[in-house]
C-alpha cells in the first residue's frame, strides 16, 4: 500500500461531522504521514495478528522488521503478505521463538496476537527491551499475570495499548459523546452485556499428531501439556480453559470494557457468576455454553449473559450492551447503536457502523477481515501512536485492560467456586477467601516461570 494525499484526507473527510476523540484521530493521522518510520515486530502472525498489523500499515509510516510464530507455514505466508503490503517492499525476518526476535532490540513497536495463554511473557519481555506494545485482549489468562504486565509497563515507562477497540469504534464514540455525556439517558443504574453467538466449538475430534509445521511444545508454552487436538490450532483454542477464559474472556471483556469506558467505572466491588455446560455436552470444548455474571459497581450492576444455543432476545443485537437510564435506553453493538427516549421531546436515534471500503480498498479483499471492525482498529492504532508520541496513556491503557480482563477471570472463578468474590485491587487478593486468592496465579509448566509484579 502507498500513502497519498487522498489517504491523508480520508479520516478528516470521514469524521467531519464528529468531534472529541474522533477529531483527535483525524489530527493524529495527518501528523503521522511525515513522521519518522517506526520499526515494528509482530508476535503471533495468525488471523488477528495480521488484521492488526495491516491496519497499522494503513495509517502510519512503519517498517515491519520481524515476525514470529510457532507455525512455520503461517509465518512464511504472513511474511509474503507483509512484503506485498508494506511500502518498502522488504520481506520481514522470521522467528520461531519470540525471545530471539526481541533480543535483537531493533523494534519501536511490538504487536502481540498470540493465544491468550501466551500474552504475558512476550509483553513483559518486549517492554524490557524498550518497545511500546499493542497486546490483544484479554491481556492475561490469570489475574497475577495482568498485575505483572501493568507493573512492567510502568517500570520500563512503555506505552501499552490493549486491543479493546470498542473504545475507538466511531459510532460508539458518538454514542458516548452525544447520548451519555450530554445527559440524554439521565442517571444510568443498570446495564446488560450479552452474547448469543453459536461460537463454541461443537466437534469432538480424536487426539492426533501435531502437523510438521507446528512446534506444539512451544505453542503450549506455560500451559499444561495436553495431547494435540486439531481444535486448538488455528483459532479454536478458545474452546479450552487451559488456553483462554472462555466466552467471557473473548466477548464479555469487550462489552464490559465498553460500559466501563462509557460510564467511567473502575473495579467492580463484587463479582458473581453461575453457569456451565448445560446443552452441548458432546463437544470436546470444556468452556461453558451457558453463563450469567453480575459485576457490581456503586449504584450500578452490569449483568452478563451468554448462550451458545437458542435465539437472541433481540436479533438486531446478538452481541452488545444495553444501558438503562431514567430518561431512556441505549443499545450498543459493533454494528450500530439505538437510543430510545422515555417520553419527552427527544426522538429515537439510530446509527450504523462506519465502513471505509473505498478509502481503504485493501479491506475489500483481505482474507477473513472483519470489515466492520477495520475502522475501529485503525483509530485504535492512531490513539496508540499518539500516546507513543506524547509518552501518555492510550485510551485502552494496560491498566484498563487489566481491570476488564481480571473482572472476567473473577467471574469464571466465581462460577467454578459457587460463591460471590470480593476483590481488593490494592492488595490483589480475594477478601476473606484464601482458596480464591490462590487461584489468581495459575501453575506454569516448567521451564516457564510465572511473572511476578515485584520482580519484572
Q: Compute the average pLDDT of residues 313-317.
A: 97
Model pLDDT, residue 14 = 46
User: Does residue 244 have a pLDDT over 80?
Assistant: yes
Q: pLDDT > 70: what percent of the chain? A: 96
- Quote the pLDDT of residue 19: 60
Give pLDDT, residue 35: 87
Res. 89 pLDDT band, cuts 50 70 90:
very high
Query: How confident is the model over 420-443, as pLDDT tens digits?
Result: 999 999 999 999 999 999 999 999
The pLDDT value recorded for residue 2 is 39
**pLDDT classification of 386: cutoffs 50, 70, 90:** very high
pLDDT of residue 3: 41
Is pLDDT at 411 greater than 50 in this prediction?
yes
- Is the pLDDT at 26 greater than 70? The verdict is yes
Q: Which of 34-38, 68-72, 206-210, 373-377 has the lowest mean pLDDT?
A: 34-38
Mean predicted lDDT score pLDDT of the chain: 94
| pLDDT tens for each residue of 2-18 | 343 344 445 544 444 45
What is the pLDDT at residue 252?
98
Q: What is the mean pLDDT of residues 382-387?
A: 96
Ordered by where they begin, the domains of the chain are: 5-166+370-397 (3.40.50.720), 168-367+402-438 (3.30.360.10)
398: pLDDT strictly greater than 50:
yes
Q: Is the pLDDT of residue 221 over 60?
A: yes
Instruction: Judge whether 141 and 119 are in contact, CB under 8 Å.
Output: yes
The pLDDT-based confidence of 261 (bands split at 50, 70, 90) is very high
pLDDT tens by residue, 100-137: 999 999 999 999 999 999 999 999 999 999 999 999 99
pLDDT 10s digits, 339-380:
999 987 779 999 999 999 999 999 999 999 999 999 999 999
More confident position, 2 or 411: 411
Q: What is the pLDDT of residue 343?
A: 82
Whether 59 shows a pLDDT value over 80: the answer reads yes
In the predicted structure, residue 314 carries a pLDDT above the cut 70? yes
Amino acid at each position: 500500500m502507498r500513502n497519498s494525499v487522498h489517504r491523508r484526507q480520508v479520516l478528516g473527510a470521514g469524521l467531519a461531522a464528529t468531534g472529541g476523540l474522533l477529531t483527535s484521530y483525524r489530527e493524529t493521522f495527518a501528523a503521522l504521514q511525515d513522521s519518522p518510520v517506526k520499526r515494528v515486530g509482530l508476535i503471533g502472525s495468525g488471523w488477528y495478528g495480521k488484521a492488526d498489523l495491516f491496519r497499522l500499515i494503513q495509517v502510519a509510516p512503519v517498517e515491519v522488521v520481524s515476525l514470529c510464530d510457532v507455525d512455520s507455514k503461517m509465518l512464511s505466508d504472513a511474511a509474503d503478505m507483509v512484503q506485498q503490503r508494506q511500502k518498502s517492499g522488504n520481506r520481514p525476518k522470521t522467528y520461531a521463538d519470540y525471545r530471539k526476535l526481541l533480543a535483537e532490540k531493533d523494534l519501536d513497536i511490538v504487536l502481540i496476537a498470540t493465544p491468550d495463554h501466551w500474552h504475558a511473557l512476550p509483553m513483559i519481555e518486549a517492554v524490557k527491551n524498550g518497545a511500546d506494545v499493542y497486546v490483544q485482549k484479554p491481556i492475561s489468562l490469570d489475574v497475577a499475570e495482568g498485575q505483572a504486565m501493568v507493573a512492567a509497563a510502568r517500570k520500563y515507562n512503555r506505552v501499552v495499548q490493549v486491543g479493546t477497540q470498542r473504545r475507538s469504534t466511531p459510532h460508539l464514540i458518538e454514542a458516548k459523546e452525544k447520548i451519555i455525556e450530554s445527559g440524554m439517558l439521565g442517571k444510568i443504574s443498570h446495564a446488560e452485556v450479552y452474547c448469543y453467538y453459536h461460537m463454541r466449538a461443537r466437534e469432538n475430534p480424536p487426539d492426533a499428531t501435531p502437523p510438521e509445521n507446528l512446534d506444539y511444545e512451544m505453542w503450549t508454552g506455560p500451559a499444561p501439556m495436553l495431547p494435540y487436538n486439531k481444535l486448538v490450532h488455528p483459532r479454536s483454542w478458545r474452546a479450552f480453559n487451559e488456553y483462554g477464559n472462555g466466552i467471557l474472556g473473548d466477548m464479555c471483556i469487550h462489552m464490559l470494557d465498553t460500559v466501563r469506558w462509557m460510564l467511567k467505572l473502575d473495579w467492580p466491588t463484587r463479582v458473581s457468576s453461575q453457569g456451565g455446560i448445560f446443552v452441548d455436552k458432546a463437544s470436546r470444548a470444556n468452556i461453558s455454553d451457558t453463563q450469567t455474571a453480575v459485576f457490581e459497581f456503586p449504584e450500578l450492576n452490569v449483568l452478563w449473559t451468554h448462550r451458545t444455543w437458542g435465539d437472541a432476545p433481540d436479533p438486531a443485537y446478538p452481541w452488545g450492551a444495553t444501558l438503562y437510564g431514567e430518561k431512556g435506553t441505549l443499545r450498543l453493538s459493533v454494528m450500530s447503536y439505538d437510543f430510545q427516549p422515555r417520553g419527552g421531546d427527544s426522538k429515537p436515534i439510530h446509527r450504523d457502523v462506519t465502513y471505509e471500503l473505498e478509502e481503504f480498498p485493501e479491506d475489500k479483499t483481505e482474507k477473513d477481515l472483519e470489515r466492520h471492525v477495520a475502522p475501529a482498529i485503525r483509530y485504535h492504532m492512531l490513539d496508540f501512536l499518539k500516546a507513543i508520541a506524547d509518552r501518555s496513556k492510550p485510551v485502552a491503557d494496560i491498566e484498563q485492560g487489566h481491570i476488564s480482563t481480571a473482572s472476567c477471570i473473577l467471574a469464571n472463578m466465581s462460577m467454578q467456586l459457587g460463591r460471590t468474590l470480593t476483590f481488593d485491587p490494592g492488595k490483589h487478593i480475594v477478601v476473606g477467601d484464601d482458596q480464591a486468592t490462590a487461584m489468581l496465579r495459575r501453575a506454569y509448566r516448567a521451564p516457564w516461570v510465572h511473572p511476578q509484579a515485584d520482580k519484572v
